[in-house]
Structures are given as structure tokens and as C-alpha cells.
Amino acid sequence: MRGNEKVLIVGGGIAGLAAATGLCRLGIRPTIVERTREFGAVGAGIVLSVNAMAMLRMLGLGDAALEAGRILENSELTNAKGQRLFGMNFADLAPDFGPTITIHRATLHKVLLSGCQDAKLHANLWVDHLHDLGESVEATFSDGRTKHFDHVIGADGLRSQTREQIFGRTDTLYSGYTCWRFVVESPPGLDRMQEMWGRGRRLGLVPLAGGRLYCYATANAKAGVADPDEGRIERFKKLFRAFSGFAPAILEQLTRPEQLIHNDLEEMPKHPWYKGRVLLIGDAAHATTPNMGQGAAMALEDAGILCKMLEGDASFEKVIPAFAVRRESRVRFIVDQSRRFGRLGQLENSLLRSFRNGVMRMMPQRLTSAGAVRAAAAEI
Ligand SMILES: Cc1cc2nc3c(=O)[nH]c(=O)nc-3n(C[C@H](O)[C@H](O)[C@H](O)COP(=O)(O)OP(=O)(O)OC[C@H]3O[C@@H](n4cnc5c(N)ncnc54)[C@H](O)[C@@H]3O)c2cc1C
């Protein structure tokens, strides 16, 4: 019976592919449309925390992710000189909560795609018009075809067209800081994740498998400031020249503007997640700033929990409202915490920064590690 249910997933990112994997395991063969030419991801890395990994295990992809990624044992926050402010030991917590891993986004996509081979995948296609007719949803695609679906899952990210088609335009909230991401060779001796906090700027270093290093960098800026190719590398190096420790060995590997992926960091204000037969998941519903490293984890939780709630003969009609109620406070907690943590990290005032750093140095490692992992693990 479930094989007859027609589900459209808009967006083949982390949320869309994970939801497709879960639905395939229930015997539903969803249609997925992805706007870009191929199902893939931009060239950067990602940290998959304990809850993200638990969801991948639930979707039958835990071993594949573990094999393709790199186990992250330690993480530390430092000042711009690389001096430790506090640390988190993930290895000690793994027996209770499971591993945390780092992985290249393109590799994660391959893992997720391997789970949804029974889905009907269409790249280079999007939905031009979506009409909820009550009994079904009519979708008109960019190639001119029109089809009817029982349910639509909008997993098309921060600037979701599905959200706009169903609810109208919603403005996103700019965080106040912009971000660059890149992957280089890992410098010798860097065996843990580091996030370095400077004056209104942060540099994150995340070791990946195969001796590669994923880096992210943030700087306070007005919204929408352009970063043209010409002079991009020089401007970036100037912004982070006060950073020492491993930073100089990383910055010297940047030579070409296309090495840097640049975008402003934004979040979604509180917003309904569903209307009639259309449900939003992942960033389309609740994009967060990345300061907690939990956006993809929330997308995976959405997919894993939605499919868990649909087990047996549970209907979408009953599950969708219950799913939204179950997920709302959990996701809001993460979005709010992430915004607060980002503001702390982006402080510019010297007095406030030294007070913040002093407090962080005094925080017991065991407490911060366990607290952060328990917060992440709450849905496991
Ligand atoms: C700098 C940075 C670092 C991050 N680090 C982490 C981290 O370490 N850990 C973590 O858990 N999270 C992290 N995140 C958050 C994470 O990247 C996102 O939360 C996650 O990618 C959301 O997945 P998604 O599938 O909902 O959306 P997206 O990843 O945005 O995917 C949406 C997909 O839909 C497609 N699409 C868009 N519009 C349409 C359309 N109209 N029709 C069809 N397809 C469409 C897009 O091409 C894309 O493939 C980070 C985010 C940023 C910005």
C-alpha cells in the first residue's frame, strides 16, 4: 500500500536525501527534484555531531558515514594566538553517545545518495507552481510538466521556493557576520578541531580524512557586502593576519579566489512548517547560524524522526502536525543558542572579550563537553 503513496521532495540536499532514504526504507518511492545540474555539494567540510550520527545510523547509513569520514576526538576554542580557552573531548563521551565525525560535504552527499537509490531522482529540475488542491498537490515543473502528489516535502534550503509558494515571502535574519569556507592540506601537528576567536573574527580548523583540512572564517560585516574575485585572497589574508598558531601555514595555501566559498550567515525567523499537504524540513523550515554545528544535524533529525513517526501505517495527515509540535522547541533551542554563541564569538570590545575569555578558561572541560554533547544528544 505504501508503495502507492506519491511524495515529492523538493531539494536534494542533506534534508531531502535523508528524508528520501527514510521513505525508501518504508517502501515509499519519493520523487526528488534538485535545482542544480547534479546531486552534489559545495567543496567544504562539515562536522556531524553525535545526534547527526545517530540519525544516520537510524537511516542505515551510519557505517558508511563512519568509514568515509574521520572520527573527531578533540575540539578546542582558542584565542587568535592559538592559546586554549576551553576544550571538548569527544573521545571520552563516545562510549555513551557514539562518535562525532568530520566529513567532506561531497562525500556525505555520496553516502546519502547511496541510501535513496529507489527514489526517482531528477537533477536540473525545480517546481514553478505548487497548488494544494486539498485531495492532492499539483506541481508544475520547470520543464513544463504537471503532476499530482499526495504530499510535498520542501527541503530546498534557506531560500526555499516551496516556502514562498505556500506561505509567501519571508525575510531571513542576517547574523551580522559573513563567512568564508575552504579546504587545504592540514598543517603538521594539528590533530584536533580548533576554533580561534579574534576581534570580531573567527577562524575554524577542522581536520578531514586523508590529511585535508576544512576551514571556515567569519568576520563582522554589513549584509550583502560583495567579495569580488579580484583582490579576494589579499583581502582575506589581511583580515586574518593577526591570527597565529596554525593560521599562517593555512593562509599561505590560499592563492586562487575560487578556493574561497563566501556567503553571509543568516537564520530563519520562527515560521510555520506546514500547511495542508506541504511540509518544510531542514533549513527551509528553520535555518540556523552554524555556531553550534547543528544545522545539518537538525535536518537529519527532521528526516529521521519524520520517517520513524511514519512507520507502520501512520498517515502523513496525522504525523505532520505531531511532527511539527515535537520538533519545534528542540529546533528553537538550537537556533537561539547558536545565535547567542555567535554573538559571544564575534565580540569586538576588548574589555568584554577579555572577560569572556577569562570565564571560558575557568569552565571545567568535563562540564562543557558533557553539556554540549548532551544538548546535541537530546533527540537520540
Ligand atoms: C558555514 C557553515 C558551516 C556549517 N557547518 C555545519 C556543521 O559543521 N554541522 C552541521 O550540522 N551543520 C552545519 N551547517 C549547516 C548545514 O550546512 C545546513 O543546515 C544544511 O546544509 C541544511 O540542509 P538542507 O538540506 O536543509 O538545505 P541545503 O543544504 O541548503 O540543501 C537544499 C538543496 O535544495 C536545492 N534547491 C534549492 N532550491 C531549490 C528549488 N527551488 N528546487 C529544487 N531544488 C532546490 C539546493 O540546490 C540544495 O541542494 C553549516 C552551515 C554553514 C553556512
Of 271, 175, 177, 277, the closest CA to residue 217 belongs to: 177
Angle between helices 316-345 and 295-309 (to 10 degrees): 160
The predicted model gives 30-43 an average pLDDT of 92
Q: Is the CB of 181 under 6 A from ligand 1?
A: yes
Residue 353 contacts residue 347 (beta carbons within 8 Å): yes
Tell me, what's the pLDDT at 109? Answer: 97
Q: Is the pLDDT of residue 228 over 80?
A: yes
The predicted model gives 67-85 an average pLDDT of 96
The DSSP secondary structure of 84-102, one letter per residue, reads EEEEEEHHHHHHHH---EE
Q: Is the pLDDT of residue 365 over 80?
A: no
Tell me how many helices (H) and strands (E) the chain has.
13, 19
Residue 279 contacts residue 210 (beta carbons within 8 Å): no
Question: CA 73: distance to chain centroid?
Answer: 20
pTM of the model: 0.97
Which tens digit of pLDDT belongs to each residue from 166-213? Answer: 999 999 999 999 999 999 999 999 999 999 999 999 999 999 999 999
**How many angstroms does the Cα of residue 15 sit away from the middle of ligand 1?**
8
**How many angstroms does the Cα of residue 110 sit away from the middle of ligand 1?**
15
Tell me, what's the pLDDT at 43? Answer: 76
Q: Is the pLDDT of residue 224 over 80?
A: yes
- 32-36, 74-78, 89-93, 140-144: which has the minimum mean pLDDT? 89-93
Which tens digit of pLDDT belongs to each residue from 327-360? Answer: 999 999 999 999 999 999 999 999 999 999 999 9
Tell me, what's the pLDDT at 110? Answer: 97
Instruction: Return the CATH superfamily for domain 2-171+267-377.
Output: FAD/NAD(P)-binding domain (3.50.50.60)
Mean pLDDT over all residues of the chain?
A: 95
Q: Whose CA is nearest to atom 17 of ligand 1?
A: 296
Which tens digit of pLDDT belongs to each residue from 256-304? Answer: 999 999 999 999 999 999 999 999 999 999 999 999 999 999 999 999 9
Q: Is the pLDDT of residue 18 over 70?
A: yes
**Which pLDDT band, with edges at 50, 70 and 90, does 370 fall under?**
low
348-357: list long-range contacts, CB under 8 Å, 24+ apart: 348/199, 348/200, 348/220, 350/199, 353/197, 353/199, 357/79, 357/85, 357/197
- Which 8-state DSSP code applies to residue 135? S
**How many angstroms does the Cα of residue 13 sit away from the middle of ligand 1?**
6
Residue 70 contacts residue 315 (beta carbons within 8 Å): no
Q: Domain locations in the chain?
A: 2-171+267-377
